[in-house]
A and B are shown apart, each in its own frame.
Chain A
């Protein structure tokens, strides 16, 4: 029983990483109806900017806020420059665009900051949390930040005009345009917010997985898995999905013989496929009914 609780706790700790990333994934999906395959790389780039600022002697929280603003601006600029002209293009072209973005960001980061692993500071410290060896204060802080972020997003989408307009623009673009919402800018706003949330995720994850240009590869896949499990249309679902994937991954690794570290990834992916087949819109997602 103790093994079980320990594994669950450890799972929640890693799940926090996935939950952060899943939030960013859901955010962009809400705005543009696509999964951004370059999301992880954008987050990685933001994290590197934060690292660079701190190398120049900027204190953590100042750097944090600066990076949030820069990432937001970066997201908006990428949308305006790259994806707005493609708005009418088929989905396949968009995916090719994401892949191009992925290659560019990864390569530029590699050239600027090279591929050596770097330490990234944590504002929460890394002492054991409440005497538990399994969760450090950093991981507890990460869970806390994720939950606060979720609450902010909920308030934003529920109670602000802009949030409502964004939801309208995503769900029914034509009708939204008719009531006077500038849908094109809503998409840019979505990109900006997704980039900002991604940068928070990046800065929180970096102390755990260490900073390097390829740090997001695995995390993004788990983020996708989490988002799919929770339902791509629900930020709450994404966060719960993140914790579920973390716990599930740990428990399977512990209790099913033959599943070592190598098989953890396929297990997460098997989870994606199972959820998609059984409940295509995830545990918390909206069911979309199509009308002919």
Chain B
């Protein structure tokens, strides 16, 4: 028994024009200045939280490349995040490598893992892909606990990672840079590099190929786009970037353990993407702010009902701003230009 279905059904993601995927130069500079200046005025704990925001922003950005650009769907980003975190932690603690050098390794390991996972995922679309990636995210903590890898991963106990000090050069110049501050700026630089690379990737031939697959797979393949290659490539790139975020996360939190990377993390990253606006790269930052701070706010409103408060906030956001922060930003922009015009 087979059913014929018209292809007119709605795509997974509403199409986003390429121009609308990044931020204008002025807005970028203002945002960058804000990110660079704020840490000098706040306490160390807030700096740590800001570092986590940046790290989650990188992970959400990675998901945005996968979903927003290539139209694939993943609830399994926490698995790649965990892989990246473990790669970095093992290289730092067992091999004694410099923390900054471990990030490219985390990226490569995760790129390969993502590319390989992308191969079976090729045959799946929409909800089936969500399920398969969901399965990956649920299985990951169990796999990390396996006795076979215990020598390297530390099993259930996890691994403790030493926190890097700021380079000597600052001390010799008479500047006192705390560990948190140094890590924040280190993360900021990595985040900016990744952002620029991602924007350029989406502007390139590969990015256009991915977007054409998102908008209409059949038309894309008719135009000569290698659908299979670009879909797996999107998976690989996304996993690689998530791996870097994971590595940074391990360094910032100074600890990796299997139960730190459950399906909760994957769901959080997914929500971050929806809240930030699917396919709008700067929205990743807004999404990351949501991930880090909204659960705290919910906890403040009511201890027993924090989950419910979180859910209600989420529902408000998807009702009022179905396109997330992107909608807010574009609304503000058009208001601004209207005010200037009158």
| Residue positions of A touching B, CB distance < 8 A | 33-35, 82, 85-86, 89-93, 95-97, 99-104, 106-108, 110-111, 171-172, 174, 221, 224, 228, 262-263, 265-266, 269-270, 272-273, 276-277, 280, 286-292
Contacts and interface: CB of A to CB of B under 8 A. Distances in A.
Chain B: interface secondary structure?
helix
B123 A107 contact: no
B3 A92 contact: no
A85 B142 CA distance: 39
Contacts of B12: 90-92
Contacts of B123: 276-277, 280
Contacts of A272: 131-132, 135
A263 B142 contact: yes
Interface string B272-314: 0110001000000000000000000000000011111111101
A92 B123 CA distance: 20
Contacts of A33: 127
B33 interface: no
A280 B125 CA distance: 10
A103 B7 contact: no
B113 interface: no
Nearest to A291: B4
Given A103-B310, A106-B307, A263-B142, A92 B127 contact: no
A221 B306 CA distance: 24
Contacts of A82: 315
B81 interface: no
A290 B306 CA distance: 44
Given A86-B318, A90-B12, A96-B314, A107 B126 contact: no
Contacts of A171: 3, 5
A291 B5 contact: yes
A270 B135 CA distance: 8
Contacts of A85: 319
B138 interface: yes
Contact of A289 (B2, B127, B218): B2
B218 A292 contact: yes
B170 interface: no
Contact of A269 (B128, B135, B308): B135
Contacts of A266: 138-139, 142-143
A103 B318 contact: no
A108 B305 contact: yes
B267 interface: yes
B10 interface: yes
Contacts of A288: 2-5
B142 A265 contact: yes
B221 to A, nearest CB: 11
A35 B13 CA distance: 17
A273 B304 contact: no
Size category of the B interface is: 35 or more
Interface in B66-117: 67, 73
A224 B2 contact: no
B267 A224 contact: no
Contacts of A270: 135, 139
B190 interface: no
Contact of A280 (B14, B124, B305, B307): B124
B27 interface: no
B10 A90 contact: yes
B316 to A, nearest CB: 9
Given A96-B314, A286-B1, A289-B2, 4 more contacts: A90-B12, A104-B311, A276-B132, A286-B3
Contacts of A287: 1-3
A145 to B, nearest CB: 27
Interface in B297-342: 304-312, 314-315, 318-319, 322
Nearest to B117: A273
A93 B12 CA distance: 10
B168 interface: no
Interface string B219-254: 000000000000000000000000000000000000
* Interface-centre pick from A34, A35, A276 (highest chain B CB count, 10 A): A276
Contacts of B135: 221, 269-270, 272-273
B13 to A, nearest CB: 6
A287 B5 CA distance: 10
Nearest to A102: B311
B56 interface: no
B318 A93 contact: yes
A111 B131 CA distance: 30
A269 B136 contact: yes
A219 B271 CA distance: 23
Contacts of B184: none
A265 B131 CA distance: 14
Contacts of A90: 10-14, 278, 322
Contacts of B311: 99-104, 107
B23 to A, nearest CB: 21
Contacts of A100: 310-312, 314-315, 318
Contacts of B312: 100, 104
Contacts of B271: 96, 99
A110 B138 contact: no
B131 A276 contact: yes
A92 B131 contact: no
B278 A92 contact: yes
Contact of B318 (A89, A224, A290, A292): A89
B13 A111 contact: no
A95 B138 CA distance: 17
B261 interface: no
Contact of A290 (B7, B132, B145, B305): B7
